[in-house]
Structure 1
Amino acid sequence: MSLPTQRDAAGQLRALGWSKYFADQATSAALSKTPPVRITQVHRNTLHIQGVDLDMIIPGLHGVTVGDWLLFDADTPRNSQLLSRKSLIKRRAPGHDRKEQLIAANLDTAFVVTSCNNDFSLARLERYVAMAHEAGVTPVIILSKIDLTTEASDFAAQAQSISPQLSVVCLDARSPEAIELLRPWCQAGQTVAFLGSSGVGKSTLTNSLAGNEAIATQDVRASDDKGRHTTTGRQLHILPSGCAVLDTPGMREIQLTDVSVGLEETFADLHALKQNCRFNDCAHKTEPGCAVQAAVASGEVDVPRLQRWLKLVAEDAENTKFLANRKLRDRAKNKLEKSVTKYNSKK
């Protein structure tokens, strides 16, 4: 098999999402010895990686996620180096132990998909948008299944109320026009992700962009508009256009953590108002001189939006504190275990 030319190699890497940001993290010698590869799937104990004329499964690595870039050590894959990320979307994992779950790395755009039916939830959209803003990823809200409603404009107005700067796109995922509507964000070298609940059309949209039906899809239940889980794992698809697309399983529970900046951007109006409160620690409830409550009284801010903001700020603070303490405990535990191992080895 002939070796790829430099131009061919550059084209393959660009299609995977390689850019100067990652190239600047390694010398030419390092890139030659340990070629860059991208993680396209994370399994329980293995990783699926792709690079220049390379597509294989390697042993799992701790602390990585779909979309990460590695400098691949072919002799000892577990020694492969994780490159610094330009973005990372994460959440507090479902369950009682409040672990941090990495969703995807190195995205450029997050398509937050919801249907124009009972799946639509303004509160859930705000959570996704805050996660994207915190990660430095451009959020775009996709309202799907517009062919099944006469009220698409009403759903769009609600979504746009999150922020006037937010892009909101209404489409039918099965329509040829869907590709054109998403094309501005799906250029060669870009990495995009479809996020949202099950059955809203994420896999259908990925298929539309890919120009095939490689990803299985299912209809929602007619009884309650809820989707069935079709995608069971996060997978990065490299499209013929040179855009990398991440399809994700449905996520109805989005617990926020470490998104204080993302919340400030998502609720920019409320964040600006709080700067004028009389007290720095104002809870925006019954305190005198509260600029936020004054805006509510004048009709500038509606009560449901204020309540959702306060809930998310409190949730983020609680989860962030818990996970920070957990990391400290884990580091102390690991340090103790290493000390015990070192002591026993000297006996």
Structure 2
Amino acid sequence: MSNKNSLQQDNNFKYLSHLGWSSHFQTQLKRFDKNSFFPARVTGVRKRYFFINDGKKEILATPAGKLQQENSSTYPVVGDWVLVRQTAIEGILSRKNALTRGAAGMHSRKTGEYREQTIAANLDSVFIVTGLDRDFNLRRLERYLTLVYNCELTPVIILTKGDLHQDPEHFVNEAESIAFGVPVHLVSAFNDSGLSELTPYLAHGRTSVMVGSSGTGKSTLINRLCGENVQATGEVSASVGKGTHTTTSRDLIMMPQGGMIIDNPGIREISFWDIDQGVESTFPEIEEFAAGCRFSDCTHAHEPGCRVLQAVQEGELTEARLENYLKMKRELEYICARKNKSADRVEKERWRDVSMNIKSINKKKSFE
């Protein structure tokens, strides 16, 4: 192919840049016949069809037969770049990244199969949205951070309903105390305060996804950022100051600032799937304390010379934060084991370890 033709084809895809098209996807097209397929981004997923955008218009598309068997690796999700023939999605371009979690229900009791749910793909940031009402919970924030870090994505914490409190900065300080280095933004859709701080995340071609509980104001926030009602919202309860659940599907919304936001239904169960350095990134100070423990395999539960327990005793670390750290470590270890072993074997080994720990504790007490 001549350099002139190659340059012409590259120019043909410049109109996709506002949708997040990049060299990561451009280079993949070399393996396909560009006369047979065209690239488009998935902007909405429904039960039997998709909304896709080819950079010029939105199109209604259906999955090709080979994509009918839905799973995380072959079935498109919002944010995916797909190859389309006429109005049929034939394949998915390799993802730059994806936000995944353990599917609701986690696994089949009969087969022990562990299932994955991909929430969105090809993201620049993840907005963890929590309201300054009964939804605000530091332990839940820690779980969200671990979920995002496990997927090697960039978290941003957004505290909504800042107008509900006379001193909302108190919540900002609390969030910052457990989210080291993570931007924390206090906003109010009621009076638009703090919304301008979100503009950099919505720059040309950037994609963010919102996660959080139902009723935290995610859809209302999108409407205020858009300057018009693009998402349905529910009335706020007078008794708890919490909105009702309205978002039932995931959609990629083009923002007037130039970027995109994926609205996401409220998450009730923050279950992990990817297993990376999420816990270590969420609890860096505990990892630092752990490096000073007497034993390299210290569980930070009862061992002598445990620097982590010493930090709790001396007020450098809260007991609640340590408990959440240990809980998520055990959970991720269990998930890792379940992915590689049968459910029965995992259960047997878990109870064997519990039995050995009890015996160890009883033996220690007998010498005291």
Q: Same fold (TM over 0.5)?
A: yes
Greater shift in the superposed pair: 35-44 or 315-324: 315-324
Count of paired positions: 321
1:85 and 2:104 aligned: no
Once residues 230 and 163 of structure 1 are traced to their aligned partners in structure 2, the CA distance between those partners, rounded to angstroms, is 28
1:73 and 2:89 aligned: no
Greater shift in the superposed pair: 288-297 or 299-308: 288-297
2:161–2:189 CA contact under 8 A, matched in 1: yes
Give, in angstroms, the shift of residue 188 of structure 1: 0.4
In the other structure, the counterpart of 1:190 is: 206
1:130–1:259 CA contact under 8 A, matched in 2: no
1:31–1:71 CA contact under 8 A, matched in 2: no
1:268 and 2:284 aligned: yes
* Runs of 4+ residues over 6 Å off in structure 1: 5-8
1:59 and 2:59 aligned: no
1:100-155 Cα offsets, whole Å, 9 max, x none, are 21111111111111111111011111111122222232211111111111131111
Give, in angstroms, the shift of residue 195 of structure 1: 1.2
Once residues 336 and 167 of structure 2 are traced to their aligned partners in structure 1, the CA distance between those partners, rounded to angstroms, is 38
Q: 1:138 aligns with which of 145, 151, 154?
A: 154
Q: 1:27 aligns with which of 25, 30, 51?
A: 30
1:113–1:143 CA contact under 8 A, matched in 2: yes
Once residues 12 and 239 of structure 1 are traced to their aligned partners in structure 2, the CA distance between those partners, rounded to angstroms, is 16
1:151 and 2:178 aligned: no
Alignment of 1:114-263 (within 5 A): 114-263=130-279
Once residues 30 and 319 of structure 1 are traced to their aligned partners in structure 2, the CA distance between those partners, rounded to angstroms, is 41
SS of the aligned residue for 1:52 comes to coil
Give, in angstroms, the shift of residue 300 of structure 1: 1.7
Amino acid aligned to 2:79: G
Give, in angstroms, the shift of residue 275 of structure 1: 2.8
SS of the aligned residue for 1:92 comes to strand
In the other structure, the counterpart of 1:14 is: 17
Amino acid aligned to 2:311: A
Give the structure-1-normalised TM-score: 0.84
Once residues 28 and 307 of structure 2 are traced to their aligned partners in structure 1, the CA distance between those partners, rounded to angstroms, is 46
Amino acid aligned to 2:26: A
1:140–1:168 CA contact under 8 A, matched in 2: yes
Once residues 328 and 126 of structure 2 are traced to their aligned partners in structure 1, the CA distance between those partners, rounded to angstroms, is 20
Once residues 146 and 241 of structure 1 are traced to their aligned partners in structure 2, the CA distance between those partners, rounded to angstroms, is 23
Q: Gaps (5+ residues) in structure 1?
A: 328-347
1:236–1:245 CA contact under 8 A, matched in 2: yes
Once residues 222 and 10 of structure 2 are traced to their aligned partners in structure 1, the CA distance between those partners, rounded to angstroms, is 28
1:240-299 Cα offsets, whole Å, 9 max, x none, are 332111011111321123234111111111122223333333211001232211222222
Once residues 175 and 33 of structure 1 are traced to their aligned partners in structure 2, the CA distance between those partners, rounded to angstroms, is 50
Once residues 186 and 128 of structure 1 are traced to their aligned partners in structure 2, the CA distance between those partners, rounded to angstroms, is 21
1:258–1:320 CA contact under 8 A, matched in 2: no
Once residues 306 and 12 of structure 2 are traced to their aligned partners in structure 1, the CA distance between those partners, rounded to angstroms, is 59
What is the RMSD computed on CA atoms of the aligned residues?
Answer: 2.5
Once residues 324 and 254 of structure 1 are traced to their aligned partners in structure 2, the CA distance between those partners, rounded to angstroms, is 22
Q: 1:42 aligns with which of 41, 45, 48?
A: 45
Q: 1:104 aligns with which of 120, 124, 133?
A: 120
Sequence identity, in percent? 38
Once residues 269 and 111 of structure 1 are traced to their aligned partners in structure 2, the CA distance between those partners, rounded to angstroms, is 23
1:135-185 Cα offsets, whole Å, 9 max, x none, are 232211111111111131111111101133111111102434443110011
Alignment of 1:277-288 (within 5 A): 277-288=293-304
